[in-house]
A and B are shown apart, each in its own frame.
Chain A
Amino acid sequence: MEANKQHKSSFRDPSGFVFLEDGIVKRKMFPNYFPVYNKLSELQFYNKLFNSGLLIPHKELSASDSEIILLPEQIPFITYPYEWSFLQFKEAALLTLKLQKYCLLNEVTLKDASAFNVTFHNGKAVFIDTLSFDLYIENTPWRAYKQFIMHFLGPLVLSYYHGSQSLKLMSTFIDGIPLPMLTSMLPFKTKLSPTLYTNIHLLAKFEDKHNEDTHGGSTAYSLSKKAQLKIIENLYDYIKNLHLKEETEWSDYYSKINYSDKAFQQKALIIDTWIQKSKAKTLIDVGGNDGTFVRKLSQPIDHALVCDIDPNAIDVNYKKIKERKETFITTFVLDVLNPSAGIGFENAERESFINRARNFEPDVTLALAIIHHISLSGNVPFKRSAQFFALFSKKLIIEFPDRNDSWVQRLLTNKSDFKDHFDFYNITNFETAYLERFELIEKLKIEDSERTMFLLKRKES
């Protein structure tokens, strides 16, 4: 029975696993991990990590000879590395290094350094794998070193040279970017950087050389703690100083919009009024850019997911979250035309966006200035996009820019000869298709623009 509840993502670590009980995430630990757990509890190590915000806090629910059950603080929405922006990825990497340094100073070590051990909660990165700690044995190298390079340094350096879209490689390579591929993708000048040369190129060479060595596991290699700290500190310095080239080119989206200030204010007011009327506590803003509209809400929101296809917008948003110390927004990269799929073993190790959004059950979904992109750039019929939103939206606030809107005109012009195929794109057809899945609560035209706002409620059948 219990095995059925075991979370599909949690099977790699023999020390225990995560399971769901009545919708609550819990963690079971096996006796082979008890010595470490007891020792760390005794040293107050977990409490220190909770207080410094490095590790997700947990409480011990029960303890017997055969198992210990922990209740971790619940995270409303898990995001994965391939959904993070550059800044988020960077913070996750720095968190892992910071944690390893702190561990070493306390005679502990991280036994793995997977990027999937980190997620975002309360506006910052937090380590969520409570069983990743092991007691440090004097003069042993860091077992998770190669994993750290493949999961963190590799993707970050690739982003620096090829843009932050490189981070999406993590959805294909869930065990990290393969070293031979990493070295082949990096320009020659990276060989001139002592940090990149040793940590990536030389590492790849050594790994390749010792690939066939089968009896190597039993040989002990020695590395002093002081030396290991140097590796960690140097990687921290290097990653901290890594900035995206495209970052500075980002200019404010809202200065490029095609409608007047008055229309913008009215749109914000309509959204605010409808959110208040709906008494929404949770929401998802699909295509939320840098979170502008979520921040304009007058009613406090417990949790808002703000996603966008543009990783730069997510970077800007995440920067705002950090600067303002906001805890209620989780932001991540989402392409509505290709939302994150279920991946890994059994296609279930990492959950799809739709599953996570369904479980999150937002009170309201915002889809502002996005339908024309879905319909005209993605060629998605209204019926299908209505079906998509209905999968996870109890209520939907959607903005419809009609044919005469300049953005819509531009998208239609791009279609050239194919343009007639998009005659369906008008407000009547939109309404007819959406009202098959949703009931109309309210509809308001934004003055001074070609746009109409709809407040819809899902038909429950």
Chain B
Amino acid sequence: MYLLYFDPGLGAMIIQALVAAVAGVILFSKNLLYKLKLFFGLVKEDSNELFDDINVSESDVDKNEKRGGE
């Protein structure tokens, strides 16, 4: 059940199919480029990266201990 307490925008709902199609192409080509670079040994590891990737790591999710600060 959706409680409509703000306007999601009709145009925004319709356009998502198109946005997704374009995103699909971008992701596919990036992936292909990455694989090519990997094949030719052009991939550099960036150790200065502040943010990790989008996936939540399962080891974080499963830990039962309290999260302790360092």
Contacts and interface: CB of A to CB of B under 8 A. Distances in A.
A230 B11 contact: no
Contact of B18 (A51, A198, A216): A198
Given A14-B5, A48-B61, A122-B69, A231 B23 contact: yes
Interface residues of B, number: 42
Interface in B1-45: 1-6, 8-27, 30
Interface string A83-124: 000010011001001100110000000011000000000100
A146 B8 contact: yes
Interface in A185-240: 194-195, 198-199, 202-203, 205-211, 213, 216-217, 219, 221-223, 227-228, 230-237, 240
A144 B8 contact: yes
Contacts of B21: 227
A196 to B, nearest CB: 11
Nearest to A232: B54
A263 B11 CA distance: 61
A52 B12 CA distance: 30
**Interface hub of B50, B51, B54 (most chain A Cβ within 10 A):** B54
Interface string A35-55: 000000000000010111110
Interface stretch (A319-327, A331-339, A343-351, A432-440): A319-327
A400 interface: no
A227 B15 CA distance: 12
A452 interface: no
A409 B21 CA distance: 60
Contact of A227 (B17, B57, B61, B64): B17
Interface string B37-70: 0000000000000110111110011111001011
A143 B2 contact: yes
Contact of A230 (B2, B5, B6, B20): B20
Contacts of A231: 16, 19-20, 23
Interface residues of A, number: 68
A12 interface: yes
B3 A202 contact: no
A216 B10 contact: yes
Given A51-B67, A202-B15, A147 B22 contact: no
A273 interface: no
A13 interface: yes
A272 interface: no
Given A48-B61, A147-B8, A207-B10, 20 more contacts: A87-B50, A94-B54, A141-B13, A194-B26, A202-B19, A203-B11, A205-B11, A207-B11, A217-B4, A221-B17, A223-B17, A223-B20, A227-B17, A228-B20, A230-B23, A233-B23, A233-B54, A237-B27, A237-B30, A327-B70
Interface of A: 12-15, 32, 48, 50-54, 87, 90-91, 94, 97-98, 101-102, 111-112, 122, 134, 141-147, 149, 175, 194-195, 198-199, 202-203, 205-211, 213, 216-217, 219, 221-223, 227-228, 230-237, 240, 319, 322-323, 325, 327
Nearest 3 A-B pairs (CB), nearest first? A206-B11, A234-B23, A146-B12
16 contacts: A32-B3, A52-B60, A94-B51, A94-B54, A142-B16, A146-B8, A195-B23, A198-B15, A202-B15, A206-B15, A210-B9, A210-B14, A217-B4, A221-B17, A223-B17, A240-B51
